[in-house]
Homo-oligomer: A and B are copies of this chain.
Amino acid sequence: MEEKIKRTRRTAEEARRVILDAAERRLADLGPEGIRLQDIASDVGISHPTILHHFESREGLVLALTERTREQLRQDLFAAFSGPSARDADIHQIMARVFEILSKRGHARLTGWMILSGAISQTPDRGMLRDLTDLIHPKRAEEFRLRGLPVPSREDTLFVVMLGAVTAFGDGLFGPVVRQAAGITDEVKTMEQFRDWFAELLRSRMIPPAQ
């Protein structure tokens, strides 16, 4: 006697989404070895050939995940910097949000893995930080201009942005190990203190000097 098996049939788009979600979770949690078709499939509750059906190959899955992660990151970052709530938020809040995006959501780890595995170089680059700099620099220049101070170069703003990026990514991936090597006992508390300290450092570079 044969069992009638219930199939849940999703739209192709929905199927791709849940598969990518599962792959993302596995990769962020379990590291480089975590992206096995069978495991991902069983997480979703489907058979592994279904993944191949939607993504052609394992590599196709990886590339799709890379692209989606990049795009999400771009959107999250721009939301943090140009959303309505960012209008009068100070840099502490914004940096807190950036760090949160990169560490809590595991984006730093994901990106690190993608860089190491070479997937990221096969995916289109959209000049995220260039655009971010172009968003920030005019405002910053204006602040200086209003006070009659020498306007900092765009390159200076770019370097501040790059430092923010490198540090936020670096903290997301290397942070825990660095804090351990620093002999820190209260991870969570120190993490927040460090981020605040760093945000203050960035702020003192960004704003015009006190008159």
A147 to B31, CA, bound (A): 50
User: Does A24 sit at the interface, judged by CB under 8 A?
Assistant: no
Task: Give the copy number.
Answer: 2
How far is the CB of A165 from the nearest CB of chain B, in Å?
A: 5
How far is the CB of A66 from the nearest CB of chain B, in Å?
A: 11
Query: In the complex, which residues of chain B have a beta carbon less than 8 angstroms from the beta carbon of A115?
Result: 31, 173-174, 176-177
**Is A178 a contact partner of B166 (Cβ separation < 8 A)?**
yes
Chain A residues 74-128 with CB under 8 Å of chain B are: 109, 111-113, 115-118, 120, 125-128
User: Does A149 sit at the interface, judged by CB under 8 A?
Assistant: no
User: Does A2 sit at the interface, judged by CB under 8 A?
Assistant: no
User: Does A205 sit at the interface, judged by CB under 8 A?
Assistant: yes
**Is B178 a contact partner of A169 (Cβ separation < 8 A)?**
yes
* Interface-lining segment among A13-21, A40-48, A156-164: A156-164
A130 to B167, CA, bound (A): 19
User: Does A201 sit at the interface, judged by CB under 8 A?
Assistant: yes
Chain A residues 13-53 with CB under 8 Å of chain B are: 30-33
**Is A174 a contact partner of B183 (Cβ separation < 8 A)?**
no
Query: In the complex, which residues of chain B have a beta carbon less than 8 angstroms from the beta carbon of A130?
Result: 181-183
A126 to B163, CA, bound (A): 28
A-B pairs, 7 with minimum CB distance: A170-B170, A130-B183, A32-B32, A31-B116, A129-B182, A166-B170, A129-B181
Told that A31-B118, A130-B183, A162-B179 touch, could you supply 15 new A-B pairs with CB distance under 8 A? A111-B177, A112-B174, A115-B177, A125-B180, A126-B181, A129-B181, A130-B182, A155-B193, A159-B198, A162-B194, A166-B170, A167-B167, A170-B173, A170-B174, A201-B205
